[in-house]
A and B are shown apart, each in its own frame.
Chain A
Amino acid sequence: MKALRWMMLTAVLLAIVAACAPAPTPTPTPQPVVTLRYSNWHLAEAHWEKTIKAAIPLFEKENPNIKVSLEVVSYAEKEAKYATEIQAGAGPDLIHLAGYSIRNFVESGYLYDITPFVNKEPPGFLDQWYPHLVDLFKYQGKLYGLPSDYMAMILAYNKKLFQEVGLDPNKPPKTWDEFLTYAKKLTRDRKGSGKIDAWGFGTVGAIDPGWELRFSPVLLSHGATYLTPDNKCSALNTPEAKEAFKFWVGLVTDAKVVPPGVTTQGAGAVRTQFANELIAMKIGSGWTAPILPTINKDFNIAENLGAAPMPVKAGKTLAKTTTAWYSGWMINKNTKYPEQAWKLLKWLTSKESDQRWFDGARVLSARRDVSGDPEKGIKPYQAIADDKFAQVISAELKNAQINPQLKEWPQIADTVNKEVQNAFTGNKTADAALKDAHDRINIILAPYRKAGETCPSY
């Protein structure tokens, strides 16, 4: 009995001690780790791959429950790949597209509506980007992505080749007439091979999504546009468009300042020609400088690479003289992890990330707080301000126009691309080729016109 009493007393004491002891800390339930699929054509370029692979671990460190799986895609195939996968209910969580096809994706219903996420951000969140770029991702009152790269197309030239023919490397051509004179002088038998082996100018002439970026500045700098302001008709019937088209075709057919085989040359082939000093001038942008040493390690960018605004038609004062390249990040509508995908999208397009992309790949940003906005008194990122090549691109943004943003744009660009090829090869005269492009674009844009509404003939 005595023993039982002791036992009960001990039990009561133990219960009191236990009650007074601090409550055990609840073990936090581990959050599941999700893996986001990140797809980017830049991963196919060595300098970009290095930059991205160095940056992504920083995001993963900030977000320990998110892993990022990097998926490379070719620039030319990305639209086909994404469209196929998304239609099948799959695809990468985050996709990167260029302006060429963004409207196609926005209007096809392939993208996740990020409006609710943006609405939860602090006021003025979107003000960090150039407003006209953010608008390109809006459709029916919803936002489907955020812009990332934003650059003007400029004239890149080889100072060493300029010097070889007695041209002042610090005086690049300012007008198309000067450009032609320079190009003719630079087209020559450089190696003493008994044939022409160096050309003044090289450009994309293949059927290629990058083609439009090289032809558009020529059109704009002659005072022409592809479409009428209401985007309902072709504007290739104007005297300015005809003049620009004939000038462009004449570089190949008459002046012969472009290497043979232009209709098979894509952007990569032209970069190779430039890096190997086969051509002295090309139209490029921020990507030009870092990519050249990856093709030819002996190409001295600091000494030999020059950058200049696009030449213009002499005697014309124009508001827009070049075209702008832009790209954006979007979330696949099929993503299983929209919250996490938004976190990554926001991080990829943040100020710090865009500064990082410039440091590694020399691309300018669609953010005003990175690329600068003189009108708002916003200074650019210091590395951009210090880079001579980037300065030209940045300064040209005010003269740059974005190509028409229609879901039909890839088809319109393809039409003009093919007709330029027809004119380059002599299959059609420049005039006949431009007329056919004009007529076909009007057929493509027919759904935008009301019954009885017609377009001016060529």
Chain B
Amino acid sequence: MTIKMKRLSFGSGYRAPAWREPLSKAEITGYAFILPCMVLMVVVFGIPAFAAIANSFTPIWSEVKTFTFANYLRLQQDKQFWESLRVTLIFVAGSVALHLALGLGVALALNIDVPGKWLFRIIAILPWTVPDVITGIVWRYMYDPTAGIINYFLDRIGGPNPYIEWLGRPHFALPSVIIADVWRGYPFVMLILLAGLQAIPQELYEAARVDGATAWQEFRHITIPGLSRMFMIALALDTIWQFRRFGLVYNMTQGGPGNATEILPLAIYNQYFKFFNFEYASAMAVVLAVIMLIISIPYIRLVAGRTE
């Protein structure tokens, strides 16, 4: 933090541009520490990203690697791409909203001082430990119309239709996938918000009680403002994660029925690995990356602002 403040300070009087100043010993040490990480980032993320961008400007299935915008022009006209984008936005908005709502509710419950609360916390975190591929398979079986446990219970309590096709009907499929994802994904948000709750000074609540504040007033005027930063971090991180979701949807529906649950990562996978349209898939991936970069700006600003 010291290093950053020194570089960013704009005091009175002229200062030579930062890059002209010789690096101090502490700065060199600092850069040396982050160098391995930077090299790793360039190798693992930078080179593939650059390759994908270059690939996206190359003609599809062509032995001659010329420069073209054809893949992006095709994207613009591809109804399935726009449908996938629409499905992705609904999936992200729905799952993130429910992650936050459920995550906040559970975090508030787990913040109450009761005997054995550590056990409840472990139970609440458990879904997050299940890989999303496994979650997808398990929920697919649970949703099975003839042999699934959900229809079994509905039938036992006298439901009207013994064979509800949770994943087999377009208007049910996406909400069903979102519910499965919420089960698996809410603990991530819950952990962030629980950490935020525990960081709110108890003195504020005590002072409020002395002043005769109700529980709702405490929540409205202490908890919510105290959690706002953590809430924004959870929102930004979860949104980015949800745009990248793949394994769960792939194992539940493969994007079907029709294109009802075909989120963009799945559409990219199909173009790349099923159809071998590498260049077109790269163009789709670049568009997704741009969307995610735009979404991550508030998060970066939030984190950067906190550092400064």
The answer to whether B254 and A207 have CB atoms under 8 Å apart is: yes
The B-contacting residues of A in range 400-458, CB under 8 angstroms, are: 407-408, 410-411, 414, 418-419, 421-422, 424-428, 440, 447
Segment with Cβ contacts to B, from A59-67, A236-244, A258-266: A258-266
Q: Using A260-B165, A261-B145, A261-B163 as known contacts, say yes or no to A407 and B258 having CB atoms under 8 A apart.
A: no
The answer to whether B165 and A418 have CB atoms under 8 Å apart is: no
On chain B, the number of residues with a Cβ less than 8 Å from chain A's Cβ atoms is 29
List the A side residues contacting B169 at CB < 8 Å.
425-426
Q: How far is the CB of B274 from chain A (nearest CB, A)?
A: 5
The answer to whether A410 and B256 have CB atoms under 8 Å apart is: no
List the B side residues contacting A391 at CB < 8 Å.
none
Q: How far is the CA of A206 from the CA of B256 in the complex (A)?
A: 7
The answer to whether A83 and B165 have CB atoms under 8 Å apart is: no
Partner of B274, one of A79, A425, A428: A79
Partner of B276, one of A407, A426, A440, A447: A407
Q: How far is the CA of A207 from the CA of B266 in the complex (A)?
A: 12
Flag A232-272 by CB within 8 Å of B: 1 or 0 each.
00000000000000000000000000011111100000000
The answer to whether A261 and B273 have CB atoms under 8 Å apart is: no
Q: How far is the CA of A278 from the CA of B145 in the complex (A)?
A: 13
Q: How far is the CB of A193 from chain B (nearest CB, A)?
A: 9
The answer to whether A414 and B146 have CB atoms under 8 Å apart is: no
Q: Using A419-B258, A425-B258 as known contacts, say yes or no to A195 and B274 having CB atoms under 8 A apart.
A: no
Q: How far is the CA of A405 from the CA of B40 in the complex (A)?
A: 42
List the B side residues contacting A411 at CB < 8 Å.
274-275, 277
Q: Using A83-B276, A410-B275 as known contacts, say yes or no to A418 and B146 having CB atoms under 8 A apart.
A: no
The answer to whether A427 and B258 have CB atoms under 8 Å apart is: yes
Whether A104 is near chain B, meaning CB under 8 Å from some CB there, is yes
Whether A80 is near chain B, meaning CB under 8 Å from some CB there, is yes
Whether A49 is near chain B, meaning CB under 8 Å from some CB there, is no
User: Chain A residue with minimal CB distance to B273?
Assistant: A80
The answer to whether B257 and A424 have CB atoms under 8 Å apart is: yes
Whether B104 is near chain A, meaning CB under 8 Å from some CB there, is no
The answer to whether A259 and B275 have CB atoms under 8 Å apart is: no
Q: How far is the CB of A15 from chain B (nearest CB, A)?
A: 67
Partner of B168, one of A207, A407, A425: A425
Whether B128 is near chain A, meaning CB under 8 Å from some CB there, is no
The answer to whether B140 and A264 have CB atoms under 8 Å apart is: yes
The answer to whether B276 and A104 have CB atoms under 8 Å apart is: yes
List the B side residues contacting A84 at CB < 8 Å.
273
On chain A, the number of residues with a Cβ less than 8 Å from chain B's Cβ atoms is 33
List the B side residues contacting A80 at CB < 8 Å.
269, 273-274
User: Chain A residue with minimal CB distance to B161?
Assistant: A260
Q: How far is the CA of A428 from the CA of B259 in the complex (A)?
A: 12
Whether A208 is near chain B, meaning CB under 8 Å from some CB there, is yes
List the B side residues contacting A83 at CB < 8 Å.
273, 276
List the B side residues contacting A206 at CB < 8 Å.
254, 256
Whether A119 is near chain B, meaning CB under 8 Å from some CB there, is no
Q: How far is the CA of A125 from the CA of B61 in the complex (A)?
A: 33
Whether A108 is near chain B, meaning CB under 8 Å from some CB there, is yes
The answer to whether B168 and A263 have CB atoms under 8 Å apart is: yes
Q: How far is the CA of A408 from the CA of B259 in the complex (A)?
A: 19
The A-contacting residues of B in range 211-258, CB under 8 angstroms, are: 253-258
List the B side residues contacting A425 at CB < 8 Å.
165, 168-170, 257-258
Q: How far is the CB of A275 from chain B (nearest CB, A)?
A: 13
Q: How far is the CB of B257 from chain A (nearest CB, A)?
A: 4
Q: B61, B170, B257: which has the most chain A beta carbons within 10 Å?
A: B257
Whether B197 is near chain A, meaning CB under 8 Å from some CB there, is no
List the B side residues contacting A278 at CB < 8 Å.
146
Q: How far is the CA of A427 from the CA of B273 in the complex (A)?
A: 27
Flag B268-295 by CB within 8 Å of A: 1 or 0 each.
0110011111000000000000000000
The A-contacting residues of B in range 79-103, CB under 8 angstroms, are: 80
Q: Using A261-B145, A425-B170 as known contacts, say yes or no to A207 and B260 having CB atoms under 8 A apart.
A: no
User: Chain A residue with minimal CB distance to B258?
Assistant: A422
Q: Using A79-B273, A407-B61 as known contacts, say yes or no to A261 and B144 having CB atoms under 8 A apart.
A: yes
User: Chain A residue with minimal CB distance to B269?
Assistant: A80
Q: Using A79-B274, A195-B162, A261-B145 as known contacts, say yes or no to A418 and B256 having CB atoms under 8 A apart.
A: yes
The answer to whether A414 and B270 have CB atoms under 8 Å apart is: yes
List the B side residues contacting A260 at CB < 8 Å.
145-146, 163, 165, 168
List the B side residues contacting A424 at CB < 8 Å.
168, 257
User: Chain A residue with minimal CB distance to B276?
Assistant: A104
The answer to whether B274 and A427 have CB atoms under 8 Å apart is: no
List the A side residues contacting B107 at CB < 8 Å.
none
Q: How far is the CA of A260 from the CA of B61 in the complex (A)?
A: 40
List the B side residues contacting A108 at CB < 8 Å.
276
The answer to whether A414 and B168 have CB atoms under 8 Å apart is: no
Q: How far is the CB of A294 from chain B (nearest CB, A)?
A: 18
Partner of A208, one of B80, B143, B254: B254
Q: How far is the CA of A109 from the CA of B144 in the complex (A)?
A: 41
Whether B193 is near chain A, meaning CB under 8 Å from some CB there, is no
User: Chain B residue with minimal CB distance to A107?
Assistant: B61
User: Chain A residue with minimal CB distance to B77?
Assistant: A443
The answer to whether B257 and A421 have CB atoms under 8 Å apart is: yes
Whether B189 is near chain A, meaning CB under 8 Å from some CB there, is no
Q: How far is the CB of B150 from chain A (nearest CB, A)?
A: 12
List the A side residues contacting B167 at CB < 8 Å.
261, 263-264
List the B side residues contacting A207 at CB < 8 Å.
253-256
The B-contacting residues of A in range 377-417, CB under 8 angstroms, are: 407-408, 410-411, 414
List the B side residues contacting A440 at CB < 8 Å.
80
Partner of B165, one of A208, A261, A407, A419: A261
Q: How far is the CB of B29 from chain A (nearest CB, A)?
A: 36
Q: Using A418-B258, A421-B258 as known contacts, say yes or no to A261 and B146 having CB atoms under 8 A apart.
A: yes
Q: Contacts A264-B168, A427-B257 given; 18 further ones with Cβ under 8 A?
A: A83-B273, A104-B275, A207-B254, A207-B256, A208-B254, A260-B163, A261-B144, A261-B168, A263-B256, A264-B165, A408-B275, A411-B274, A418-B258, A419-B258, A425-B165, A425-B169, A425-B258, A427-B258
Between A and B, 26 residue pairs with Cβ closer than 8 Å are A79-B273, A79-B274, A104-B276, A195-B163, A206-B254, A260-B163, A261-B145, A261-B146, A261-B163, A261-B165, A261-B167, A261-B168, A262-B168, A263-B165, A264-B143, A264-B144, A264-B253, A407-B61, A410-B275, A414-B274, A418-B257, A418-B258, A425-B168, A425-B169, A425-B258, A427-B260
Which positions in B face A, CB cutoff 8 Å? Answer: 61, 80, 140, 143-146, 162-163, 165, 167-170, 253-260, 269-270, 273-277
